[in-house]
Amino acid sequence: MEGRFLGLVIGTMLPEDCFATGEILLGVVFLRPRPLRLCLMELLKVLQTLLTLKESRGSIKLKNVFEVVADDLQTLNQNLRSIVGAENPVLMSAADQIFGAGGKRMRPALVFLVSRATAEIVGLKELTMKHRRLAEIIEMIHTASLIHDDVLDESNMRRGKETIHKLYGTRVAVLAGDFMFAQSSWYLANLENIEVIKLISQVIKDFASGEIKQASSLFDCAVELEEYLIKSYYKTASLIAASTKGAAIFSGVESSVAEQMYEYGKNLGLSFQIVDDILDFTQSAEQLGKPTGSDLEKGNLTAPVIFALEKEPKLREIIESEFCETDSLNEAVELVKKCGGIERAQELAKGKADLAIQNLNCLPRGAFRSALEEMVLYNLERIE
């Protein structure tokens, strides 16, 4: 392919329209660049937009971001338990534990925000049943993935409560997750929209692909940033991207708008995952609800580690030894911080956030677009 390869960090830091031709796949950019002066001018405009939004709104609370769809979320909360079904008392008990565990409901909130923002474009006065059902399906899929994640990670606590596999055993937890995947698939099929069915079905496949990629690269210091971003897309961003695009499709907007909503969800999802991976090094065990550096201890090498490995050979030795020596994990965490891994990961997260803000340019100005912008800024505030 003509042109040059721009590394992921650079590719995410520049607006996509800085390039005349080429294609972008998960942030890997194969392009013929326009003059650098124009690219930098456009990048400065994006950064100025982020700074202006930040200064005008101050500290952001998630509850306030979701206030404009609070009624939609309340209805969703009421419906979730009944959607799981009452055939099995154990499943109902598990559902109470899952849906009563204080989740943020970020994904269904994004569905409602995009639904209402895109509905304004076509003059739709109220959300359809399909919009609402999509939000419920998305939360069920997300919850099912968390149940399985807790089994794979052998986690005993989530959001301050005991996990399903801790309470009921691994067998019930796996079956509960499977049941919720199956139930969500049934409701998805009943939406009778082949484009959305394909979109959401791909997410479930992506979950499995992400877990396999992670399991096959534990303690592998040769892992590259591209691989990390692809895995992060599979495990986190894929569902958010499908959620936001599906919402736009049900509003009946043009395909170009729906695609921008997909890109918004993808970039926001990647930025969220990168921030989560930064917090694994910067927050205390009390804040995280798990030991600092727990992902690294399990051999899961995230963006801060990948960046630090470029500068510190000793870090590679410690990781490849799988932390066999006393206090070697703490030493590795300190090396990641010392070698600038945190700062470079922050820039990567901000680059994805820049792109997410740009993706919203197709939406009309108003409360719903503002909330979608604030969602991006809220995420970045977590690392300030």
Work out the average pLDDT over 246-263.
Answer: 99
Tell me the two tokens of residue 178.
């499977």
Strands 4-6 and 157-158: unpaired
Higher pLDDT, 221 or 77: 221
The percent of residues above 70 in pLDDT, for the chain, comes to 79
Tell whether the model's pLDDT for residue 15 goes beyond 50: no
Alpha helix ranges (H) inside 283-302: 285-288, 294-297
Dmax of the chain from CA atoms? 64
pLDDT level of residue 48 (50, 70, 90 thresholds): low
Residues in CB range of 331: below 8 A, 6 or more apart: 318
Q: Given the structure tokens 């052998």, which residue do they identify?
A: 154
SS3 290: coil
* C-alpha torsion sign, points 321, 326, 327, 331: negative
Pairing of strands 4-6, 19-25: unpaired
In whole angstroms, give the CA distance from residue 299 to residue 222.
12
The per-residue pLDDT for 23 is 40
* Tens digits of residue pLDDT in 308-357: 999 999 999 999 999 999 999 999 999 999 999 999 999 999 999 999 99
Whether the CB-CB separation of 286 and 280 falls below 8 Å is answered with: no
Q: Where do the H-state alpha helices sit in 223-366?
A: 225-232, 238-251, 255-282, 285-288, 294-297, 303-309, 313-320, 328-338, 341-359
The sheet carrying 28-33 orders its strands as 4-6, 28-33, 19-25
Q: Where are the domains of the chain?
A: 4-57, 62-381
- The CATH fold assigned to 62-381 is Farnesyl Diphosphate Synthase (1.10.600)
Beta bridge mates, 30: 5, 23
Q: Which residue has the higher pLDDT, 253 or 41?
A: 253
The secondary element (H helix, E strand) that includes residue 177 is: helix 170-189
